[in-house]
Structure 1
Amino acid sequence: MLARILIWVLAFFITAASAVYQRVTGPTTPLRGETTVGNTDIKFKLLRTEVVGKDALVAIDVSDPSITGLVKYKRLRSHDDWITLQMIRREGRLTTTLPRQPSAGKMIYFVYLEKGDEPISLSGETPVTIRYKGAVPGVVLWPHVFLIFLAMLFANRTTIEAIRPKGNPSSTLGLTLGLLLIGGMIMGPIMQKYAFGAFWTGFPRGHDLTDNKMLIAVIVWIWAWFRNRGGQRNRAWIIFAGLVVFAIFMIPHSMLGSELDYTNLPEGAGTP
């Protein structure tokens, strides 16, 4: 009994750690940092995702009224020229907004602060990328997140059982595959449709890494299940599937995600 409890605790720890890692390293997580302008220390948080139909707010808390700011932006991988916006001071903050974009539209932007000297870029020489997505209802989002978390938990649990000499991975192998299928291949495409207007943008239709990661995960677990069905016992394939899924979940979420090709849009569509 104690061994089973410890296995669940270890599986949960691995799952939770990978979930937190994905959360903090993903390309849609706000860019946070701190800089000094003059003698003023300034903390900032720059958005890297926004909902379709909303202008993206750029706001920096700046107490020194002599510090000014501006934003330069353009659509990602477009033929646009850079557009410059002067930030407006309101109640101790410098603010402006980036124009709303269609679903999967991306923009790049720089935020500069200055106090009589050369402007300081908050993101250095690399622009911030922001992606726009459709609103996903909670009844779709949270079941998807919950099922994927459970799938990862059971995948880790099953893999640990396969590594143990006297473990019984078959007891949770089918459930692991079922959770991946429902959470990733049913709820995932539904969420993708709400967010980016298409059920599937991975192979063979596109290069969306999130879709492709899930496809690979399902394939390796189907194979592990196939090689362990009936009286067969091939633990090596379960361990292999578990390691593949762990590696997949260590890739930041939404990396190489859906992206609107502005060069194929009709003239004027999606223009800032």
Structure 2
Amino acid sequence: MTKLPFYKRSWFLWVITILFTLFIAVWQRSTGPTYPKKGQAEIGNEVIKYKLIRSDEVEGETVETEIAIKAPENINGSYIFKRYKSFDDWTEKPLERRGDELILSIPRQPKAGKMEYQISMTDGLHTVKFPDEPVIMRYKGVVPKLPVLLPHVLMMLLAMIFSTRTGLEAIFRRHNTFRLSLWTLIFLSIGGLILGPIMQKYAFDAYWTGWPFGHDLTDNKTIVAWTFWLIAVIAVYKVRTRRVMVIIAAIVLLAIYSIPHSMMGSEIDHTKTEAPKTEVNE
């Protein structure tokens, strides 16, 4: 019996797959549009570090989202905000001093509502506005962690792990391609087509906002990936040596996971439901 090179052995392929998948998962999460916007602003001799949130839950004890930025006593400023995709004018308010922090308070919005905001700080001589473009913050409902959120994340993570592992199985022409393909489809079906819509309902009050009902990229990515894997499972079931479709499906899912999470997600477009503001000439 010929001994396989270590890079073709199952244990090695699993290790590479898991490490690679975890890297992709962390990268996707940290580059998404709901990940906090981090940076720093130089005001005279002072360096102000900030972490501006871009996602919040609609439930809470207050009607506002508070964001704190540490700043010396000689620094003050203001901030502007308005509803995203609306005809609203910018509202400007002064930053509130609380000890060593400056606080901005953004009015909470309904599920899928968005607010955009920008900050201006000064030491009396120098004024800095940051970030360069207004931050867009999306609001969502609370998703139950144990029965919905955690199983969804686990299923989608397993789908990615098994997809990558199945792709390697097909590339190296090993004998478990069909079984691994089937597990990939199962995990993707549970995580993406069952738990995904349930989580979407809790978060944005709609089960599905992708094609043909909307343009939600997360929903669209899910159905594209699931379709490719369904075709791959059927193909390899009929002819166990037909591995090309499996490799294609694995590449498609990898490409989809490379797209930052929550891009082009659910949102309220006020410009479609409200009339533009008009000036009244006296």
TM above 0.5, yes or no, is: yes
Q: Which range moved further: 142-151 or 33-42? A: 33-42
Give yes or no for contact 1:47–1:56 (8 Å, CA) kept in 2: no
Residues 48-76 of structure 1: per-residue CA shift (max 9 Å, x gap)? 001013422121101x2111021101111
Query: Does residue 213 in structure 1 map to residue 235 in structure 2?
Result: no
C-alpha contact (below 8 Å) 1:53/1:101 kept by paired residues: no
2: CA distance between counterparts of 1:17 and 1:167? 27
* Secondary structure of the structure 1 residue equivalent to 2:236: coil
Displacement after TM superposition at 1:228 (Å): 1.0
Moved more, 2-11 or 144-153: 2-11
After superposing on structure 2, the runs of 4+ consecutive aligned residues of structure 1 that deviate more than 2 Å are 165-168, 230-233, 263-267
List per-residue Cα deviations over 1:185-233 (Å, max 9, x = no partner). Answer: 0000000000000000000000000000000000000010111114443
The reply on whether 1:21 has 2:30 as its aligned counterpart is no
Secondary structure class of the residue paired with 2:237: coil
Q: Report the identity percentage.
A: 43
Matched residue, 1:5: 11
1:228 to 226, 233, 236: 236
Larger Rg: 2
Distance 1:169 1:184 in 2: 22
Write out aligned runs for 1:63-102 (5 A). Answer: 64-102=72-110
User: What is the aligned length?
Assistant: 265
Contact 1:18 1:249 in 2 (8 A): yes
Which consecutive unaligned segments of at least 5 residues does structure 1 have? 268-272
Query: Are 1:253 and 2:270 matched, yes or no?
Result: no
Residue identity opposite 1:73 in structure 2: F
The counterpart of 1:57, out of the listed 57, 61, 66, is 66
1:85-117, CA deviations, whole angstroms, 9 ceiling, x for partnerless residues?
101111100002100101000111101111113
2:239 & 2:168 partners in 1: Cα distance? Answer: 20
Structure 1: how far apart are the matches of 2:104 and 2:219?
Answer: 34
What is the TM-score when the length of structure 1 is the normalising length? Answer: 0.94
Q: 2:189 aligns with which of 181, 187, 193?
A: 181
Deviations 1:134-173 (A, max 9, x none): 0101121000000100010000110000000345311211
For 2:118, the aligned partner's letter is F
C-alpha RMSD of the superposition: 1.5
